[in-house]
Chain A
Amino acid sequence: GQQVMQIPQYQHVQEGEDFTTYCNSSTTLSNIQWYKQRPGGHPVFLIQLVKSGEVKKQKRLTFQFGEAKKNSSLHITATQTTDVGTYFCAGPKGGSGYALNFGKGTSLLVTP
């Protein structure tokens, strides 16, 4: 079945450094979504990418969807301590429903 792989599993950066997490799917995706989960919290929707090669920005966050719609990345410029959390990518499981396959997530730790 369709799998979503995410690397790295953990990333520890100094505040101000950049951060990138990568997501790869075993199959072509109709869309890919990114979520952030703060420690002790629940996943919060960040963005959805639909088009091949799409790039979207949210302030310091840049999201990309690959040309083949099988990979995606999230890049954070000049990290802040508020960026701490686990970032998950998720792709549709397929079939007729809207269920998602989540990647294992990248846990970001930012030290001042």
Chain B
Amino acid sequence: GAVVSQHPSRVICKSGTSVKIECRSLDFQATTMFWYRQFPKQSLMLMATSNEGSKATYEQGVEKDKFLINHASLTLSTLTVTSAHPEDSSFYICSARDGRGRPGERGGHEQFFGPGTRLTVL
């Protein structure tokens, strides 16, 4: 099946530092990747859609300069939390869409999630 890795799995940093999170699709090419944020016992909140070779599309209320997204290749997207503060502490999850095939088959709209990154800002 489609495998998505995410690194690091856990990071603790001081307030004001920047943290980079990598998301990789291991066995398929992902033209589109997504970044979510999840608070404890809550749903996934879409932050942005990352398209290979173009600028990310951010959801309303998500600061572009705060959460920098780069999708330099078909298998890698990165999220950089700049000048992190305690309120940025959260579980960040990426997902990737396998662009092959048609909706309803493999390569439809389903997303494959990475294992997530637990960010704690002190």
B67 at the interface (CB under 8 A from A): no
A75 to chain B: which residues have CB within 8 Å?
none
Q: If the complex has contacts A48-B109, A107-B41, are A42 and B46 also in contact, measured as CB distance less than 8 A?
A: no
What size tier do the contact residues of chain B reach?
Answer: 20 to 34
Stretch at the interface among A14-22, A66-74, A90-98: A90-98
A105 at the interface (CB under 8 A from B): yes
Query: CB distance B103 to A45 under 8 Å?
Result: no
CA distance A64 to B101 in the complex (A): 23
- Across chains A and B, the number of contacting residue pairs, with CB separation under 8 Å, is 62
Query: How near does chain B come to A107, taking the closest CB pair, in angstroms?
Result: 7
A111 at the interface (CB under 8 A from B): no
Query: CB distance A101 to B46 under 8 Å?
Result: yes
Contact of B110 among A48, A97, A99 (CB under 8 A): A48
Task: Find residues 75-112 in chain A having any chain B CB closer than 8 Å to their own CB.
Answer: 88, 92-93, 97-105, 107
A43 to chain B: which residues have CB within 8 Å?
44, 93, 95, 113
Task: Find residues 39-71 in chain B having any chain A CB closer than 8 Å to their own CB.
Answer: 41-44, 46, 49, 57
Q: If the complex has contacts A88-B43, A88-B44, A103-B43, are A50 and B103 also in contact, measured as CB distance less than 8 A?
A: yes
B109 to chain A: which residues have CB within 8 Å?
30-31, 33, 48, 92, 98, 100
Query: How near does chain B come to A53, taking the closest CB pair, in angstroms?
Result: 15
Task: Find residues 4-31 in chain B having any chain A CB closer than 8 Å to their own CB.
Answer: none
CA distance A31 to B111 in the complex (A): 13
Query: CB distance B112 to A45 under 8 Å?
Result: yes
30 residue pairs A–B, Cβ–Cβ below 8 Å? A30-B103, A31-B103, A31-B108, A31-B109, A33-B109, A33-B111, A42-B93, A42-B114, A43-B93, A43-B95, A44-B113, A45-B110, A45-B113, A48-B103, A48-B104, A48-B108, A50-B103, A50-B104, A50-B108, A88-B44, A97-B49, A97-B57, A98-B49, A98-B109, A99-B46, A99-B49, A100-B46, A102-B44, A102-B46, A104-B42
Taking Cβ atoms with an 8 Å cutoff, the residues of B that contact A are 32, 34, 41-44, 46, 49, 57, 93, 95, 97, 103-104, 108-116
- What 7 A-B pairs have minimum CB-CB distances, sorted nearest first? A50-B104, A42-B113, A104-B43, A45-B110, A102-B44, A43-B113, A102-B43
